[in-house]
Amino acid sequence: MSKKLIFIGAFLICSSLFGDSREKGKEIFLSYDCKMCHQDKAETVGPSLDKIGMFYSGKENDLVSYLKGQKKAIIYPERAAAMDPQLIKIRHLMDDEVRALARYLSTAYNYREDM
Ligand code: HEC
């Protein structure tokens, strides 16, 4: 294989691991109607994306565990009853989909269109 092909391959792998996984996470977030309870900035039924981003910034792995139901909520544990059924809804997601979702949620406040 030529060096150029290896370079292109590495580039594609990197962009699918970083750039595009956020986009995929956003798609999942929107397709499961998570936005119903999670707005960008405003605290509504659930914490805003800003708040989730603040709590989980740099802790993407913790967020993956939370989304898989392996770790307890840290933001509003007293309201977990409203969120728990949502975790059941996403239980069938593949590993890379959960990761993409966690990437989106832990960085959403860095990428807001209005900033
Ligand atoms: C019916 C309203 C509702 C919907 C729909 C909803 N959530 Fe939540 N979510 C909540 C509430 C309430 C909390 C606060 C309780 C808590 O912190 O566990 C929460 C908390 C969270 C948290 C923070 C967990 C923590 O550590 O405290 C994450 C992450 C999250 N939701 C992701 C999602 C995702 C992803 C979806 C879509 C699949 C979703 N939510 C859909 C109500 C909702």
- From 26, 30, 37, 52, the mutation candidate for ligand 1 (largest count of ligand atoms within 8 A of CB) is 37
pLDDT, one tens digit per residue, over 68-95 is 999 999 999 999 999 999 999 999 999 9
The boundaries of the domain holding residue 41 are 22-110
**66 residue type, one letter:** Y
pLDDT, one tens digit per residue, over 26-40 is 999 999 999 999 999
In the structure encoding, which two tokens stand for residue 113, read together?
């269109």
Q: What DSSP line would sit under 4-20, residue for residue?
A: HHHHHHHHHHHHHHTHH
* Closest atom of ligand 1 relative to the 105 alpha carbon: 29
Model pTM score: 0.86
CATH code for the domain of 87: 1.10.760.10
Q: How far are the Cα atoms of 7, 82, 88, 90, 111 from residue 85, in angstroms, in the given order?
A: 44, 7, 5, 9, 28
In a domain, 6, yes or no: no
Q: How far is CA 28 from the centre of its chain?
A: 9
In the structure encoding, which two tokens stand for residue 41, read together?
């900035």
In a domain, 15, yes or no: no
In a domain, 14, yes or no: no
